[in-house]
């Protein structure tokens, strides 16, 4: 079965640089979520989109922005990167009308900021 | 606010031992509850779910029952295997509305030795 695709899988950036993470949801899934997981930490919700509109917002820094496109893929844009942004970034998707918000996670993008 | 508390690890067991990982939650209304598993270097995989009180989720020998009276969703397995070694996260979704964030516990590391 098709899964959530994230690219790149690994990314190394310098402080103050920018980064763009991409997420391709499972076909026919209309909702996308972004989470950040620091080393040894639980995933923290950043932001979600339903039908290309922002749905919920968590602890996403103002330096980050995201959007969902007409083909339902999503991009997380991160600017002025800081050392503390080094983390695993997960994208998840969910299908329409399931009634209980089960989210399917991608393999993650590991971002290292030097 | 909504939150999840799960027992701290690491939990170290011998193969074929009985496993319990405690999880309690705080939420308004009627959340859906999930257990996710994360193997080293991988993303989050849904292990099981329960969407209403007294529901029992089960998968791969793991079970958890949604207990509203004790606000708990403890994970159990009768006989663990070395391949069960991973980090286990309890999570809740406060709403079934698309785009609602999952709130995770801190995770419990399970290590099973042969």
Beta-carbon separation of B107 and A105 below 8 A: no
Between A and B, how many residue pairs show a Cβ–Cβ distance under 8 A?
Answer: 73
Cα–Cα distances in angstroms (integers) from residue A100 to residues A69, B7, B51, in the given order: 24, 25, 6
Q: Which residue from B101, B105, B107 is facing A48, i.e. has the nearest CB?
A: B101
> What is the pLDDT, as a whole number, of residue B22?
97
Q: Do residues A16 and A114 touch, judged by C-beta distance below 8 A?
A: no
Q: What is the distance between the alpha carbons of residues A100 and B100, in angstroms, rounded to a whole number?
A: 10
- Asked if residue A89 lies in contact with residue A79, where contact means CB atoms within 8 angstroms, the answer is no
Confidence of residue A109 (pLDDT cuts 50, 70, 90): very high
Percent of chain A with pLDDT strictly greater than 70: 98
A59 and chain B: CB distance < 8 Å anywhere? no
pLDDT for position B63: 98
Predicted confidence (pLDDT) at residue B16 exceeds the cutoff of 90:
yes
With b meaning 16 or more CB within 10 Å and e meaning fewer, what string describes A22-57?
ebbbbeebbbbbbbbbeeeebbbbbbbbbeeeebbe
In contact, A20 and A111? CB cutoff 8 Å: no
Rounded mean pLDDT of chain A? 94
Please check whether residue B36 touches A, CB under 8 A. yes
C-alpha–C-alpha distance, residues B26 and B103, integer Å: 11
B78 pLDDT higher than 80: yes
Cβ atoms of B62 and B48 closer than 8 Å: yes
Give kind and range of the element (H or E) at residue B65: strand B62-65
Chain A residues within an 8 Å CB radius of B42: 107
Choice between B94 and A10, residue whose per-residue pLDDT is larger: A10
CB A18 within 8 A of CB A74: no
In this predicted structure, the answer to whether residue B11 has a pLDDT above a threshold of 90 is yes
Q: What would the pLDDT profile of A47-86 be if each residue is shown by its tens digit?
A: 999 999 999 999 899 999 999 999 999 999 999 999 999 9
Chain A positions in Cβ-Cβ contact with residue B45 (cut-off 8 Å): 105
**Binning pLDDT at 50, 70 and 90, where does residue B97 land?**
confident
Of the residues B42, B44, B66, B91, the best mutation for testing chain A's interface (the one with the most A CB atoms within 10 Å of its CB) is B44
Q: What is the mean predicted confidence (pLDDT) over B70-92? A: 97
**CA gap A33, B45 in Å, rounded:** 15
Per-residue pLDDT for B41 more than 90? no
For residues B34-42, average pLDDT: 92
Tell me, yes or no, if B87 comes closer than 8 A to chain A by beta carbon: no
- Is residue B42 pLDDT above 90, yes or no? no
Per-residue confidence band for B28, with pLDDT thresholds at 50, 70 and 90: confident
Per the CB < 8 A criterion, the answer to whether B103 and B91 are in contact is yes
Task: Return the beta strands (E) in chain A as ranges.
Answer: 5-7, 10-13, 19-24, 31-37, 44-50, 53-57, 64-68, 74-78, 87-94, 104-105, 109-113
B 45-74 residues with CB < 8 A to A: 45-46, 49, 51
Residue A97: predicted pLDDT: 78
The H or E element spanning position B105 is: none
């Amino acid at each position: 079965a098709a899964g959530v695709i994230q690219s790149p899988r690994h990314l190394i950036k310098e402080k103050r640089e920018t980064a763009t993470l991409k997420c391709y949801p499972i076909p026919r899934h209309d909702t996308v979520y972004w989470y950040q997981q620091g080393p040894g930490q639980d995933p923290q919700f950043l932001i979600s989109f339903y039908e290309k509109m922002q749905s919920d917002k968590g602890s996403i820094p103002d330096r980050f922005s995201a959007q969902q496109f007409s083909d339902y893929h999503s991009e997380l844009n991160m600017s002025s990167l800081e050392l503390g942004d080094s983390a695993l970034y997960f994208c998840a998707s969910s299908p329409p009308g399931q009634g209980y918000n089960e989210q399917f996670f991608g393999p993650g993008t590991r971002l290292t900021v030097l | 606010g909504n939150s999840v508390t799960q027992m701290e690890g690491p939990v170290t067991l011998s193969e074929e031992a009985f496993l319990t990982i405690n999880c309690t939650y705080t939420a308004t209304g009627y959340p859906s509850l999930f257990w996710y598993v994360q193997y080293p270097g991988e993303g989050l995989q849904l292990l099981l779910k329960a969407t209403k009180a007294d529901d029992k989720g089960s998968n791969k020998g793991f079970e958890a029952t949604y207990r509203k009276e004790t606000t708990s969703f403890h994970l159990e397995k009768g006989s663990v295997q070395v391949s069960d070694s991973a980090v286990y996260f309890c999570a809740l979704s406060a709403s079934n509305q698309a785009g609602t964030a999952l709130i995770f516990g801190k995770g419990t590391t399970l290590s099973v030795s042969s």
